[in-house]
Structure formats: structure tokens, C-alpha cells
Amino acid sequence: MQHLIGENWHSFETEKIVEKLESNINDGLGPLSIKHRKEFFGKNELKEKKQDSKLKKFFMQFHNALIYILLGASAVTGFLQEWVDSGVIFGVVIINVIIGYIQEVKAQEAIDSLKEMMTTEAIVIRDGKKINISSVDLVPGDIVLLESGSKVPADMRLIEAKDLKVDESMLTGESLPVQKNLSVHSQDITINDRKNMTYSGTYVTYGRAKGIVVATASHTELGKIAHLIEETTSMETPLTKKISAFSKILLYVILVLATITFLIGLLRDYSIVDTFMASVALAVGAIPEGLPAAVTITLAIGVSRMAKQHAIIRKLPAVETLGSVTTICSDKTGTLTQNKMSVTNIFCEGNSYEIDGVGYEPKGNFFKDNKEIDSLDDKLQEVLRAGYLCNESYLVNKDGHYLIKGDPTEGALIVSALKAGLDENALNTTYPRLDILPFESDRQYMATLNKDISTNENNIYLKGSVERCLNICDYEISDTGTVAVDKDKILAKAQEYASQGLRVLALAKKVSHGDKISDNELDNGFVFLGLQAMMDPPRPEAIEAVKESIGAGIKVIMITGDHAHTAFSIAKMMSIVEEDAIFEDTVLNGKELFSISDKELIEKVSTVRVFARVEPEQKLRIVDALQARGEIVAMTGDGVNDAPALKQADIGIAMGKGGTEVAKEAADMILSDDNFSSITHAVKEGRNVFDNLIKFITWTLPTNLGEGLVILVAIMLGLTLPILPVQILWINMSTAILLGLMLVFEPHEDDIMLRAPRDPKKSILTKVIVIQMLVVGFYMLIASYIMFNYAIANGQSVEYARTIAVNIFVFVELFYLFSCKELQKSVFRTNIMNNKLLLLGVALMIFIQITFTHASFMNTMFKSEGLDFMTWTQILLIGFGVLFVVEIKRFIDSKLGIS
């Protein structure tokens, strides 16, 4: 049985397949054969990989350097019996752990969704009888019958096919149903072009067929995708990578400095308890307790803002990741395009017409020579009438949303007729159908026989491929009636439309003298009516979104299962490629992808903007290649075929309305309105999230540095501690909550979408931030020591002097906050009124700091003491002075070209 797995069934003749599978076309499998195959292959359902227990998943969330720092801070504050602060810090840890745990549990839902997709009913022939069974009971060698509306229950090689069309968009991205046949293909042909195969999870839209099951469960193409999703490693986001690296460095620095402080204290003969408390004070001062809360809250605010723009975030760090995106890989069908075929051009009587309108809604205008035409002549109406009558689909209005029941191509013909004002009831009444000749691939056309009640004349209407229809057309309509058909002119026009990525159908008509369509009437004598050219048009809002993304320095790449020339034309319309772009330089198809090495692909992805006729594994490979070049990749998609790449990408974006559940579960973000333009809003919000986090870090680190230095200098020089550990905790927690966290509410800066994407390799701590951190940190150190010693020298108590030092730290932070609103602009040119919450935080901070200084219960708790008016004036002047220090530093940076 093992030899049956992985065969290229599309390359074998039917007899060879039946022989290999030891089956019978007419009778199917017998009971014993079914029993043995079930034992070997198992049920036709996806099996989950053994998962870690929920308890293990929960505790693994603690395995993070930042969490270690927080736990250390919580333990230290607990040791100091500051239970409230200890509880707050530990609460932040638990919140982060719970969020991570929930995200990880949800990741497996994609596999569950795939399992549901594979469960369906199947009509099979077993032991010579036709029976209905559950798809989970199918085995290789089963003979299965398919009909219109069926979900394909397993991968099958077709044995018989009658006008069979299959919707494979969820697997291949192909926007139109695929016409199937029994032809044998070469081994290296891609899934998209295997016309003799049907695949599990796809849908039959037309016709009927008989097939033999060649693969079940995990061996199907759908099963391979499930395996890809399972094996794909979700990438860390840029933020988590940087925070993780920063946290590790900070952890080591804090441990080293605390150890140095402890050793110096022992060498200076301090008591072990005092030395230990000084080391604890340094550790508490150096730990940015507000950082994880700032990260979580900033991301949560981003989620809330993006939800209002129809972008639903499933995984919190995805908000920031969007701001760092350098490349967006977008599926074409239903993402960049409407997934609704529309007639855009008509050629009739030597004239070219254009039609506008969106989707299947029967509203639109007709244009000739770029001018709108109010009334349509009889010959143009005849072309539209032919498209409506020679048709087996119909338009449905469901709560104001128009849908097509049947073939999307035929739907486009119906809509174009209704846009012209043709009345459905009148057409159906005036031209009742007498007979129909369904479309068949060998004929390449379809025909209907309709009676014209007004003339009592029977007409055969015909639609199909241009070349085949012209072969049986002898005439064409003209102003003078009918003339000999000019085939060269019509073929040239059809080629022109095809080069624009349009699908072209020819329409013709012939008077009939019978009530049935006879074969001898279809050989010649038809009158050519015209061409209708259609496409799955781009979403207008997506075009603008792509342009804005490119303007923001983001590359947009189209990845599709559709034909290369069609995709290339759409890419031009959307400005994904330049108007004068060379096809060979910017387009790569699936077959070429198979033949090139990973190294060659990594080189090619720098210039290729359109990947066509690709398979699921290749989408994943493309994302891998881009990431190998250091790109931060966003992948949009809506089909099952997109799920592995969605999970592998730095951020996966699924469509909420048209997307499959598999795609949604694999994605980090879901667009609830299926609107590509929502991505632009998300990118903007993502960039703002990162900006605000950088602002918070730039604001908080100088304080941690200053506090750490104050303790270190005191121990090294044998001085009295200017600030106690409990006072450091007060500074850190109060300012982080009331001042620092207000920065996360900052609105985006005006030029946010005019910048290039942030370099993924660039550290959080840039040279500018490090220098600013050192300048402000040493400013705090120097100012606090000068004022502390000045107070002692003037006979003030140690408590009074320490209260001064605490207030210097707080008010320097308060004024410095305004310098951090915009890091590249002078504080004196910044709009300080555009963040009302920040102003509220400043007001509350002043109030509680006055309380800290003058309220007796606070004096007892924190060992503080009331200050006089002159001292307050000096503190405020020192605080205000930091603005000028930062301005001078930024002026020097600009002159030296430091960035």
C-alpha cells in the first residue's frame, strides 16, 4: 500500500491508475479490500500533532527575560514590604502571561477548521452498488460520483467528466471555475493546470463526473497544507525581538551593577544589611517597571483604534509589526480584486464601448470614445441580449447584496445586460427558451434556442471562444444589415483585450427553423454580433491603498494562482508594477519557481512583483525568501491555500467576509470589511504604536539611569543615599502611570506615512536615544546631588534634602515628557495641547507630588518633608531647564549629522 502514496496520478492513463489501485471502474472496491485499506490508511480526516499540555503552555509564557526582570522587581518590592507595588508588578506579569497563553491556544484552531472542511457526504460505488457514505470512510481506490454543488471529498483522478467545472479558488487562487477533462499531463505540471484531477475541499459548480480516489487525509493537497500550517514557525515580531534583546542586556547590566554596589559597600565596611539595601535600591531604580505595562497598553490602544478602521487584531504584537512592514504580499482574487467578474469592454459593429460599475450590482454607465452615451443602439442591445439569453446562471438580490448563482462569467453577461436597462421579465417573456446545448470543452461554445414572440421567429444564440465562434460565422451586423465577417479585425480586437488581462467571449446569432438545435445548424451561417470582454476588476479603494503603501516605502507583491498575463495586467492597473515594466523582469510563474534554487529565489524576490500560477508550498517559500533578505513581511489572503504563508509571515492578514475560517485562524489580523485600504490605516497605526513606545523608552530610561547612578555614586564615594529605595519606587510607579503611559495616547505625527519603513535591524536604542538618555540621566544625577548637598550644608534635615532630590527627579521627568512628544522636532514647535490625557496626567502628577511632600501620612510612609516656596521655585527651574538641555543636544546632533 505504501507505493500508492505520492504518485503523480495526473500523468498516468486511466487503465494504469485502476490497475495500481487494484479497483474496478464499474463495481468499485469489495468489502475485504475496503477493510484492509482502512487499516492501512486510516480515516479520511486530518490528524492533529500531539500538543503540549495546557499547563506547560501556560508556564512557558514565563520563559522571557522581561518577565524575569519583572518577577525580580516584584520580589524586591515584596521584600521591602511594599505590597501594593509588588502586587501591581506581579499583576502585569500575569496579564502578559495570560495574553500569550490565549494566543498560543488559538493557533491550533486553524487545524480544527481544516478538519471540518474535510468532513462531507460522498456518493460511492462499492461492490457494484451506489451508496452514500461519510467522507471520513473513503479509501484510495474508491469510485466516487460528483455532481453540481458537490464538495470534493478526497483527491481524485477523473475517469469520466461531463461539462465538469470546479471552483478551486480556495486551494489555488484561480478566480474562475476550472473546466475539467480526462487529458493526461506531464509529471511536472502544477496543480492549477491538472485538468484531470479534483482536490479535496473544492466545489463542483457545473456538470458531473466519476473519479477514483487517489489520496485521503494528510496525503491530500488540503492535508499537505494542514501539515504546512502545523510545521510553520510563527515569527517573533520586531518589537518582541527588540524588547527581548533589550531586556536581556538590561538584566545583565542590573545584576552586574547591583553586585558591584554590594562589593564596594563591603569594602567600605558598611553593614551587610545597609549594603544589601543599597544594592536593592539600585536594582529597583534601574528596572523600568512601567515598560511592560506601556507595551501592553500601547498595543491594546492600537487594537482599539484599528478595530474602528475595520481591522481586527487576533494577536496583540501584530499592531506594532504592521508599522515595521517592508513588504506586503497580497493574494489577487478577492483581496486586490472584487472576486466578481465584470464586463468592462464591448466590441460591436466596429465600435468599442466601455462599461463602469462595481461588482454584480446592475448599475453602470456605457461610454464610447470616453463620452457617456445615454441611449444604446439596437445592435449593441442585441449583443447584450445575446449574452443574457445564452446563459444558465441568474442574479440574486439578497438584502441589497447581489450574488450570482452559477458561473461568474455568465453572471457578468447578465449584469452587463441589466446595466443597459434591459428588463429581465420582458426578456424571459419575449424570448422563451426552447432548447439548450451546454458548453463542452471540445466544442468551446454554448448555444440556446429562443423564440422571439414579437416576430414569431426562432433564433440560436451562441457564445464561446472567439476563434471557435468565428469559424462558424459568415456574417456580421452593420449599419446596412449584415455583411461578410472581417475575422482579422475581430481577432485583432480580441487579442488587444486579452493583452489587457481580459477574458473575451464572442456572441453570435442565427435564425432557426426548428424547435430543437440540430448539429447541422451549428456548422456555419451565424451572424457575428460582438465581443464582451470581462475581468475580475481591482477594488478602487485597493488601488489607492497600494499607492499609499508604496509612497510609505513598502513594496507590494501580488501572489496568485491566476494566469501570469492576467495578473501582470491587474498589477499595472494597481501600480504594483510600473506602466513600462518588462514582463520577464517582474513576473515569475509557479513552474519557474519549481526549477530555481532557494538562493536564486532570494535574489529574484528583490525585483519580482508578480508571482503567478503558484501553489501553497510556493507561497510559503516566497515569504521565506523575502524574510531571508531581512524583509518584514505582511501576507494578505482569504483562501485555504494562503494559510501556511499567513502563519509564516511576520503578520498574516485575512479577509473577514470572503475569507475561509482556516485563513482567519492562521492570521494575526482580520479585515472585517475585506477592504485592502484598511491595511493602510493599520500600517499608520502600527507605525504610531512603535513611535509611542520609542517615546516612552526615551522618556523612562534616563530616570532609571539617573536613579541607578545616584545609588552607585553614593556607595562608591561613601555618601549618604540621596534617595531611599521606597522613594525610588514612588518615583517609578507614579511617574510611569501618570506621565509615561500618557505618551501611548499620542496621535500620529504628520509625516508618519512619508517615512521609509523602520529598519528591522535597527536597535531600539539608537545612538540619538542613548546620547539623550546619558545627557538627561547625568543632568538628574548632578542636579539632585547639588541640591541634596546644598540643603544639608544649609542645615536642613536629611529627610528635607531627600524630598528635594525626589521632586527634582519627578519634575525633570515631567518637563522632559514634553520633549518626548516629538523626538525629531523642537519642543517649542510641538503642539502640546493635542493629547488631553497627557495634560490630565501632568496635572494629577503635580497634585500627588504636592501631597507626597506636604501630607503628613505621606511624610510618615515615604520619609518625606514639606518644602518652602524658594525650594519649590528652584526645583521647577531645574525641571524646566531640562528642555533647554535637550534642545542644545538636538542642535548639536543636527550639526554633527547624528541620527
The residues annotated as belonging to the active site are 331
> Contact 638/335 with Cβ under 8 angstroms?
yes
Indicate the DSSP class of residue 25: T
Q: Report how far residue 413's alpha carbon sits from residue 391's, in angstroms, rounded to the nearest whole number.
A: 8
Residues 6+ apart with CB under 8 A from 774: 702, 705
* Cα 409 to chain centroid, rounded: 28
Q: Report how far residue 83's alpha carbon sits from residue 790's, in angstroms, rounded to the nearest whole number.
A: 34
> Contact 553/680 with Cβ under 8 angstroms?
no
23: cell is 479497483
Give Dmax (Cα) for the chain. Answer: 122
Beta strand ranges found along 487-559 (DSSP E): 503-512, 526-535, 555-559
Residue type (1 letter), 461: Y
**Angle, vertex CA 174, rays to CA 398 and CA 401, nearest 5:** 10
What does the chain come to in residues?
Answer: 899
For residue 196, what is the enclosing H or E element? Answer: none
Q: Report how far residue 147's alpha carbon sits from residue 134's, in angstroms, rounded to the nearest whole number.
A: 16
Beta strand ranges found along 99-151 (DSSP E): 121-126, 129-134, 143-147
Exposed, middle or buried by CB within 10 Å (0-12, 13-18, 19+), for 603?
Answer: middle
Q: Report how far residue 637's alpha carbon sits from residue 400's, in angstroms, rounded to the nearest whole number.
A: 26
Question: How many CA atoms lie less than 13 Å away from 462 in the CB half-sphere?
Answer: 30
Q: Report how far residue 136's alpha carbon sits from residue 148's, in angstroms, rounded to the nearest whole number.
A: 21
CA distances from 199 to 12, 38, 117, 215 (A): 17, 20, 12, 9
What three-state secondary structure class fits 503? strand
Exposed, middle or buried by CB within 10 Å (0-12, 13-18, 19+), for 547?
Answer: middle
Q: What is the DSSP string of 154-166?
A: SEEEEEEEEEEEE
For residue 204, what is the enclosing H or E element? Answer: strand 203-215
Residue type (1 letter), 320: E
> Contact 414/387 with Cβ under 8 angstroms?
yes
Identify the CA nearest to 234 among candidates 567, 643, 797.
643
Q: Report how far residue 633's alpha carbon sits from residue 326's, in angstroms, rounded to the nearest whole number.
A: 6
What three-state secondary structure class fits 458? strand
> Contact 613/168 with Cβ under 8 angstroms?
no
Q: Report how far residue 220's alpha carbon sits from residue 230's, in angstroms, rounded to the nearest whole number.
A: 15
CA distances from 161 to 145, 198, 468, 602 (A): 10, 11, 22, 41
Beta strand ranges found along 252-348 (DSSP E): 311-313, 327-331, 342-348
Exposed, middle or buried by CB within 10 Å (0-12, 13-18, 19+), for 869?
Answer: exposed
Residue type (1 letter), 585: D
Q: Report how far residue 132's alpha carbon sits from residue 393's, in angstroms, rounded to the nearest whole number.
A: 28
Identify the CA nearest to 757 among candidates 609, 581, 667, 630.
630
What is the CB neighbour count within 10 angstroms for residue 30?
A: 13
> Contact 526/510 with Cβ under 8 angstroms?
yes
